[in-house]
A and B are shown apart, each in its own frame.
Chain A
Amino acid sequence: QVQLVESGGGVVQPGRSLRLSCEASGFTFRSHGMHWVRQAPGKGLEWVALIWHDGGDKNYADSVKGRFTISRDNSKNTLYLQMNSLRAEDTAVYYCARDLSWNSYYFDYWGQGTLVTISS
């Protein structure tokens, strides 16, 4: 069965960096685009970033552009999100989500999420 397991969340100070990981199993990882979606406490869903199945294209929400970098290692079935210059408003649960295909741009499986808290 499809499994997505995020890790790397925690409490960090404003301005610092954090790297999230999402380990995938139960499907052919290299055949699917992948996304990061976040949800601030008590708030709605916000798409963060996408990466094509082969890493050939990436795209970001304006709110994170220039600060966050999405990447993947298909040999390790792992998705990453490098988050730099973190701000209080980046506090959220970060979900990795599988694209239905290599670029359908909607999400058929979600991980359980990892909580990132930005606080001094």
Chain B
Amino acid sequence: DIQMTQSPSSLSASVGDRVTITCRASQGIRDYLAWYQQKPGKVPKLLIYASSTLQSGVPSRFSGSGSGTDFTLTISSLQPEDVATYYCQKYNSAPLTFGGGTKVEIK
């Protein structure tokens, strides 16, 4: 089965900073990658699918890129409301797998 590895597991950044989270697949998955945001005590929310397509209603400061095995989620200017844990998920085929998560905090 394909494993998904996220890094870092946590980060602390200042408001306005550019934040980058990486996700690596153990085998190629083309662009079958989604990103989710889970705020504390809340349900996960779809941010990006097909590696780089922004879900409707998601702020444009979020962007995704990558193909094959290496992917990134970028927040261009970190805002206080972006405090959350972010998960990648591969969906080329079952079993569907999430990365371990990246917890983003404000410095």
List A residues 17-42 near B (Cβ within 8 Å). Answer: 35, 37
Report if A45-B98 is in contact (Cβ < 8 Å); known contacts: A106-B89, A112-B43, A113-B43.
Answer: yes
| Among A44, A111, A112, contact of B87 (Cβ-Cβ < 8 Å) | A44
User: Residue A50 at the B interface, CB < 8 A?
Assistant: yes
Report the Cα distance A44→B23, complex, angstroms.
15
Given A44-B100, A106-B49; A59-B94 close (CB under 8 Å): yes
Interface size, A (range) = 20 to 34
Name A residues whose Cβ lies closer than 8 Å to a Cβ of B.
Answer: 35, 37, 44-47, 50, 59-62, 95, 100, 104-108, 110-113
A45-B36, A45-B101, A62-B1 in contact; A108/B95 too (CB < 8 A)?
no
Complex Cα–Cα for A46 and B1 (A): 14
A61 adjacent to B95 (CB under 8 Å)? yes
* Beta-carbon contact of A47 and B95 below 8 Å: yes
What are some 13 contacts across the A-B interface (CB < 8 A)?
A37-B44, A44-B98, A45-B36, A45-B87, A50-B96, A59-B95, A95-B43, A105-B92, A106-B34, A106-B46, A107-B44, A110-B45, A112-B43
Give bound CA distance, A46 to B96, whole Å. 9
